[in-house]
Structure 1
Amino acid sequence: MTFRLIAALLLILPMTAHAAEPVPATVVIAFDREGVRPIIVEGVADRESGREVEANDPVRIASISKLIMALATLRLVDEGKVALDADVSDYLGWQVRSPNFPDAKVTLAQLLSHRSGLRDRAGYVIPLGESLQEKLAEPEAWYADAPPGEAPFEYANLGSPVVATVLEAATGESYDAIVERTVFGPLGVEGCLNWIGCSEEQVKRAVVLYRDTGEIARDDPADLPPNCTVPVAEDSECSLENYVPGTNASVFSPQGGVRIGMMDLAKIGQQFLKSVDDNFLTDETTMALFFSIFERHEGQDFFCSYGLALQSIDNSSGRCEDNLFPNGRIRIGHAGEAYGLRSGLWMDVRAGTGIAYFTTAVPPRQSAEDEGGFDPREIALMERAQRLLSEQSGD
């Protein structure tokens, strides 16, 4: 009887271990001006297959996509295709106006800086087959008490489809092609928007996003090519064959739809460390980008210093809840949060170093009022990464 009991336990124990909660996919990449290197690579990218995550597996980086959009915009400024302070109506061919302030122009600089008066109360996803122009005609889409440029800072995803559509109208190119031509291609990285343009090999390595409950949130096989990967209106066909650039770039999810691996994202981060030394941006646009973060926003607990889709964190004044790194050094970059994922691209320009990371299955915020700020798991992850870097350097 004793032998049979032991044998039964040996059969049960492996099953119990296998049933343990999978480690959430997490990748942290450190970089400087000279190179990039993985610091933490762990967890399961796809729980169905058991595939473990690798350092450059592509993942939806959420709002870091806005920083890539800003780089694409500035590259087009340098090409003379757009101007930051021009009326975006001039590019689109129809009037973009706040209903209460019909004489106040809306500019790319305002949109990138979340000072255009746009807000997300009317929603910000405009599916293929619906109209961006009609969405911007809704009064709920606008701050009612001040004109664009004077309206208080309000983080709004709706501004991103407007920026991307303006870039399309100015160039005649689709937004995904613009980002590939101006950012991904020149920097030698593989990335795409809503999986459009990603290779079959990249799609096979997609990181599935899970909620903390284990529920699939995004990018499982049903959410990948050849299935439909863009938002589509009811009764509309999921095809971009007849899409006209400059009409509704929301289909590319410019506010959060970039898929890219952390090794490649780190290469984009390197550009912020090298920008004063090469010609990716002109001196004029480089200065416009970096000086934009000096604008301070009163009444913000997280976005205290935010410019052209570029944020400054870890400010030592203590007036802002934006502390992520244990050493408190000021960093610039952008955070991402969506579908149980937290991500970040942060550069310490003075030290010439940076971090690109994501982690998955993060619990949601506890209330609608709990906006901004870093999750305790992110903070612990950065403490761990900094400790590993210190050990590796012998400090």
Structure 2
Amino acid sequence: MTVGNSVAFAQTKLPEPAKVRVDFSTKAVTARKAEGEAGVVGRTVGAEDPVRVASISKLVTAIAVMRLVDEERINLDRDISAYLGFAVRNPAFPDRPVTLRHLLSHTSGIRDSIDYLLPLDGSLQDTLSNPDVWHSGYKPGDYFSYANLNSPVIAATIEAVTRERFDRIVAKKVLQPLRIDGCFNWGAGCSPGRRAQAVTLLRSNGDLARDAAIGGADPCPVLPASNGNCDLARYKIGRNGSSFSPQGGLRISAQDLAKIGQLLLNGGRPLLSEKAFAEMTKMQWRYNGINGDADNGYYQAYGLGVHIHTDSRGSTWIGHVGEAYALRAGLWVNPETRKGFAQYVTMVPAETPIGHCLETCP
């Protein structure tokens, strides 16, 4: 039996949900808390166990982009068609270019109205040619609409510029320099055997969601080709962008997420210039009542791959949320107090109200 692209497995009783939190300052981890089980009865979860952190992945993808900006290999405001080699246009506004700034800030006009997961042999160009992908009433740059599909376009652009596979370039530019044992969809960046240490994600009823514990590996870590093939040699640089899930496929521990948080607290150092970090964390969009889909107040402001949120006490936090496969997660730093935390909870019931894992986490 399979669920998604993972092998299902049976347990006689449900494990305890995992609840993990790591607090940190600019230079040190100040507290760790891990309780529950890692998706398997009898296996205690730890802060060092890798887990699929969902949309927090977008923040790491953005850091990779900003490294390329620092290297002057990418321009945030250039028409991405020039990088990809094919026209990327909202058919309702054919004269309005789409840029990385638009994609990273979710103001591109792209929406998740079709499946944003492309098979291994899928074509991003074909996907973007579908009029249903685009908001017909808003020009690029004019309206915020959070969309996962932005991320494969960003990933393909990175690949087109570097001529390297997305997982490999992010490992090289972000994960390895920070000594993070993590990777996108079990690609480059994870140490040998890291996959076997993963937190298995289960739904609240015990159904397998991702990263089955049996065998130490998924049959295919990406969405197979249309004929069922999973040979990664078939992956085409700059033409797919989706296979390594730049929108949500990062496997990383809470302990290593703290290193990303420390980078945010340290103004982007040691990876980003002061200018690049300032641009990434600057409000590119702020809700004014009519300029975006705020999802009932869930989105207040957004930078370049950075969620910006003000808590109930009036304090501003930057970071990103993650929600998928019954996991809720948040990586948040407070620039004023110079402190932050990474936390996640598994096996969250589907009916649980959406939250930021900031002041509370289910």
Q: Same fold (TM over 0.5)?
A: yes
Secondary structure in structure 1 of the residue aligned to 2:113: helix
Are residue 355 (structure 1) and residue 341 (structure 2) matched? yes
Residue 52 of structure 1 is matched in structure 2 by 44
Q: Distance in 2 between matches of 1:380 and 1:89?
A: 41
1:185 aligned residue: 176
- Structure having the higher Rg: 1
How do 1:217-228 and structure 2 match up within 5 A? 217-221=209-213, 225=217, 227-228=219-220
Q: CA deviation at 1:216?
A: 1.3
- 2:152 paired with 1:164: no
Q: Say which of 87, 108, 111 aligns to 1:95.
A: 87
| One-letter code aligned to 1:363 | P
Please say if 1:274 is aligned against 2:266.
yes
The number of residue pairs the alignment matches comes to 346
Q: Secondary structure at the match of 1:135?
A: helix
Are 2:332 and 2:342, in contact at CA under 8 Å, matched by a contact in 1?
Answer: yes
Deviations 1:329-369 (A, max 9, x none): 22111000000000110001111100101110001147xxx
Residue matched to 1:390: none
Contact 2:212/2:218, CA 8 A, preserved across alignment: no
C-alpha displacement of 1:286: 1.4
* 1:145 to 1:274, Cα distance in 2 relative to 1, 3 A: same
Tell me how far apart the structure 2 counterparts of residues 46 and 279 of structure 1 sit (CA, whole Å). Answer: 35
Structure 1 Cα separation of the partners of residues 346 and 153 of structure 2: 29
Are 1:336 and 2:318 counterparts?
Answer: no
- Render the CA deviation track for 1:42-83: whole Å, top value 9, x for unaligned: 1111325x2111111000000000000110000000111111
Deviation (angstroms), 1:312: 1.5
TM-score normalised according to structure 2 size: 0.90
| Matched letter for residue 306 of structure 1 | Y
Map of 2:26 onto structure 1: 33
CA distance in 2, matches of 1:351, 1:36: 15
Q: Deviations over 1:85-104 (max 9, x none)?
A: 00000000000000111111
TM-superposed CA distance for 1:122, in Å, is 1.6
Counterpart for residue 292 of structure 1: 283
Shift of 1:291: 1.6
Are positions 1:247 and 2:239 aligned together? yes
Distance in 1 of aligned mates of 2:215 and 2:163: 28
Structure 1 residue aligned with 2:253, among 249, 261, 285? 261
Say what the alpha-carbon RMSD is for the aligned residues.
Answer: 2.2
CA drift of 1:293 comes to: 5.4
CA pair 287-210 structure 1, distance change in 2 beyond 3 A: same
Deviations 1:161-213 (A, max 9, x none): 00000000001011001111111011111110111132333111110001111
Query: Cα gap change, 1:262/1:293 in structure 2, threshold over 3 Å: closer, same or farther?
Result: farther
Question: Which digits, 9 at most, give the CA deviation of each residue in 1:115-153, with x for residues without a partner?
Answer: 000000022111111111001011110000122112x21
User: Which structure dedicates a bigger proportion of its chain to helix?
Assistant: 1
Structure 1 residue 224 displacement after superposition: 5.5
Contact kept in structure 2, 1:223 and 1:229, CA below 8 Å: no
Q: Which fold has the larger relative contact order, with Cα–Cα distance below 8 Å and residues 6 or more apart in sequence?
A: 2
Q: TM-score, normalised by structure 1?
A: 0.83
Question: Is the Cα contact below 8 Å between 1:129 and 1:236 reproduced in 2?
Answer: no
Change (3 A) 1:129 1:155: same
1:20 offset after TM fit, Å? Answer: 6.9
Q: 1:1-395 counterparts in 2 under 5 A?
A: 21-47=14-40, 50-150=42-142, 152-197=143-188, 198-221=190-213, 225=217, 227-275=219-267, 278-292=269-283, 295-298=286-289, 300=294, 301-315=297-311, 328-365=314-351, 373-374=355-356, 379-381=359-361
Which range moved further: 170-179 or 304-313? 304-313
- The whole-number CA distance in structure 2 between the counterparts of 1:381 and 1:295 is 24
Cα distance in structure 2, aligned partners of 1:339 and 1:297: 31
The answer to whether the 8 A contact 1:104-1:148 is kept is: yes
Distance 2:205 2:49 in 1: 23
Shift of 1:40: 1.6
Check whether the contact 1:116–1:148 (CA below 8 A) recurs between aligned residues. Answer: yes
Look up the SS of the partner of 2:61 in the other structure. helix
Report if aligned partners of 2:21, 2:33 keep a CA contact under 8 Å in 1: yes
Contact 1:60–1:256 (Cα < 8 Å) also in 2? yes
